[in-house]
Amino acid sequence: MSEIVNSKIEHYVTVTKALSDSNRVRALCALRKGELCLCQIIELLGLAPSTISKHMSILKQAGLVNSRKDGRWVYYRLADKKDEIFIQDIIKLSLLGLEQDQQVVADDRQMAEINSWGLEMLCKRNKGCCEN
């Protein structure tokens, strides 16, 4: 019996694997309010820059987030509306189901504070995470 390869199924598996880590889900939830710099996500999750970069790379590979570079800063945002419809549905379902989660609510409060600090200070605080 020959194996049938279904790229939609494989993509779905990649997406669900990306969502199988609580730190990646927290990052995704934080992005629901808008674009964030890598250093802001590092500060929120309290993990090493290399660990956060790996998590964000997994989310990007799954098609859940997009990134852009501006000078020395790398910004992440949720996948655009023009992206695959089932990705948009997964994002909406995930975010809707977690909107009132205690961790997500606490992260929202913490992000409000983090957003007031400025990227230069965050980069220094996180040992130059944004340096080239």
The total of structural domains in the chain comes to 1
For the chain, where are the alpha helices, taking DSSP H only? 7-18, 22-30, 38-45, 49-61, 85-98, 102-115, 119-125
Judge whether 105 lies within some domain. Answer: yes
The rounded mean pLDDT for the chain is 87
In a domain? residue 49:
yes
Over residues 10-62, the pLDDT tens digits come to: 888 999 999 999 999 999 999 999 999 999 999 999 999 999 999 999 999 99
Q: From its phi and psi, is residue 128 left (phi > 0), alpha (psi between -120 and 50) or beta?
A: left
Distance from C-alpha of 44 to C-alpha of 75, rounded to nearest angstrom: 14
pLDDT band of residue 80 (cuts 50, 70, 90) is confident
Assess if residue 1 is contained within a domain.
no
**Does any domain span residue 84?**
yes
Burial class for 71, CB neighbours closer than 10 Å (0-12, 13-18, 19+): exposed
CATH of the domain at 32: 1.10.10.10
pLDDT at 106: 96
| Band (1; pLDDT cuts 50, 70, 90) | very low
pTM: 0.86
